[in-house]
Amino acid sequence: MAWMFDQAPSVACITCRSVLAGAPVLVVTHYDDDHSWAFLDGETAEPEQALIVAMASVLELHPDVAEIASLAPGWTASRAAVGSRWSMQRHR
């Protein structure tokens, strides 16, 4: 699969243990300030529970997230379940 994100596969992103354990990615944020990404399960979590991994690590486990590779900086995409339509909203 061709890499379609604006950051290289080896660039760090934010995720959580459950996503690395196979839980679906339901919320993706593309930060405006540094163009970094977060791939989360949609559960409320404390910041100290965040993990920093290479973007490729998340995409290898969840290739379906490539659907929103064009998400603009400053936006968040969320969905109810894998296969559901992504809803996009701009950060405030």
What pLDDT is attached to residue 6? 94
What pLDDT is attached to residue 17? 92
Residue 32, in any domain of the structure? yes
SS3 39: strand
For residue 75, give its domain range.
Answer: 12-82
Mean pLDDT of the chain: 94
Neighbours of 41 (CB within 10 A): 16
Number of domains in the chain: 1
What pLDDT is attached to residue 42? 92
Q: What is the pTM of this model?
A: 0.93
Torsion of CA 65, 67, 69, 75, to 10 degrees: -90
Residue 4, in any domain of the structure? no
Residue 1, in any domain of the structure? no
Note the pLDDT tens digit of each residue in 30-52. Answer: 999 999 999 999 987 778 888 99
Closest CA to 34 of 53, 11, 17, 52: 11
Residue 39, in any domain of the structure? yes
Residue 34, in any domain of the structure? yes
